[in-house]
Structure formats: structure tokens, C-alpha cells
Amino acid sequence: MRKFAFAALMIASPAFLFAETAQERLQESAKIFNEIMQSRDSAIPEELLERAHCAVIIPGLKTAAFGVGGKYGRGFAICRRPGRGGWGAPAAVRVEGGSFGFQIGGSDTDVVMLVMNERGMERLKESKFTLGANASVAAGPIGRTATANTDAYMTAEILSWSRSRGVFAGVALEGATLRNDLDENEELYGKRLTNEQILLSNMAPPPAAKPLVASLNKYSRFEEGTSSADRKVHRKAGKAANRTR
């Protein structure tokens, strides 16, 4: 059944599966993230982004169904540097998952996940894990100034959102599997590095990742060269400004 679902995806979108490079996918990830964050009413709350340990962005997750449904996507995980510093080098991931039921059709969905605590971050270091089974996942709230003090935020290791046909909303991606994409890591870094080796390192992001890193720093209010005390003051000032809008 899984082979049939994967074959359906290949028929539905062979160009996506084989044509894009890792560099192009990084650029698309930055574009998607910027588009989402620039929309005030349907953005990821900046407070959540500031608190997040890592982010996962999957541009164009493919879903196809011809009797059996399947999902396939490639993207990147990126974590903060030690000491809650700026965002580090991205590690490539693949997302795979299946659904069952009589359905015909397909869709193209952008997915963003925030890893909210160290437990979730530990999962990203593994060769693969399943959302909902190995790591708790919940639909994230939307709206740049939306409150982050929700039960989902307090308990979930991962918060997730999706955008399909221009509609952005929180969605729980239970059942999807995230795994290392060693081929993409080799393309970016010249070595078949595991995600653990990348996410725990201080290696410089590749040139193609700089726009994504810059956007994550911008919307989590991180500025190079500022101290942790200065960043705390900036966060308080930003929250006060939001309350007066």
C-alpha cells in the first residue's frame, strides 16, 4: 500500500520530486516564511517564534490520492545556536506519511513547524521519528499578536501550521514521519552529515541559507552582536508596542 501511495505521488508531481536542488528549496523556504510572517492577521505569533528551539519548513508538501493517499516533502530543520543565540545551519529533512480511504486528487501544501522545547529538539537529532507517536504535535495559533499562553503551547513539543491555496491555518500533522535527508545534506555541505552533526555544530550556514537565517533572526527579534540582556529588553519593548496597537 505504501508503494502504491508513493507511486501516486510520483505520477502527480515528478518534476517536484526530481528537479529542485537543495539550494532552490532553501530559497523557496525563505520566501514562504517571509510571506507568512508579513501577513499580520495570519502569521505565526512572534512570541512563539522567540521561544522556539527549532523550526522546520517544508515548501510544497505533496499529497496525492488514488484510492490510497500519500504525502511526501523535502525541507529543512534549523535550530538556535547555544545560549539562545541566532539561528544556525539548516539540516535537510524528508517528510513522509500516508492516509487511507477512497479519494482521488492531489494538493500542494507549505508546512511550518516550531519545536518548542528540548524534548522536541532531541527528536530532530534522531534518524527518523513520527509526529504524534514519538513527539506530541498540535495545531499552532495564528495571528502575529495572538496569545501564546494556550494549552497546546504548554504541552506540545511541536506546533504546526500549513498553507494551501493561500489559506494559512494551524494543523496537527499526526502520523507524518520526519527523517534525515543525507543526500540533501551532502549537496549542501559536501559530506553525508547527519542532522545531529549539523544541528549541534557551529558550522556556518551555506550561502543559499542566509536569507532564511536572516528572516528567522528578524522575526524572533535577534540582532547579531547584541547581548542576551539587550535582547530581553527588546522583547519587552516589542510586547509593549503590540499591546498599544
Q: Report, as ranges of residue numbers, the positions in the chain whose pLDDT lies below 70.
A: 1-19, 63-71, 84, 98-107, 144-154, 223-245
**Cα–Cα distance measured from residue 226 to residue 217, given in angstroms and rounded to the nearest whole number:** 12
Other C-beta atoms lying within 10 Å of the C-beta of residue 183: 13
pLDDT score for 193: 96
pLDDT score for 5: 42
Can you count the helices (H) and strands (E) in the chain?
10, 7
**Cα–Cα distance measured from residue 108 to residue 18, given in angstroms and rounded to the nearest whole number:** 16
Could you tell me the pTM of the whole model? 0.79
pLDDT score for 186: 96
pLDDT score for 235: 44
**Cα–Cα distance measured from residue 57 to residue 73, given in angstroms and rounded to the nearest whole number:** 10
pLDDT score for 143: 79
Cell of 83: 545560549
pLDDT score for 27: 95
Other C-beta atoms lying within 10 Å of the C-beta of residue 201: 14
Using one digit for the tens of pLDDT, what is the confidence trace for 197-231? Answer: 999 888 999 999 999 999 999 998 876 544 444 44
Q: Where are the domains of the chain?
A: 2-244
pLDDT score for 15: 39
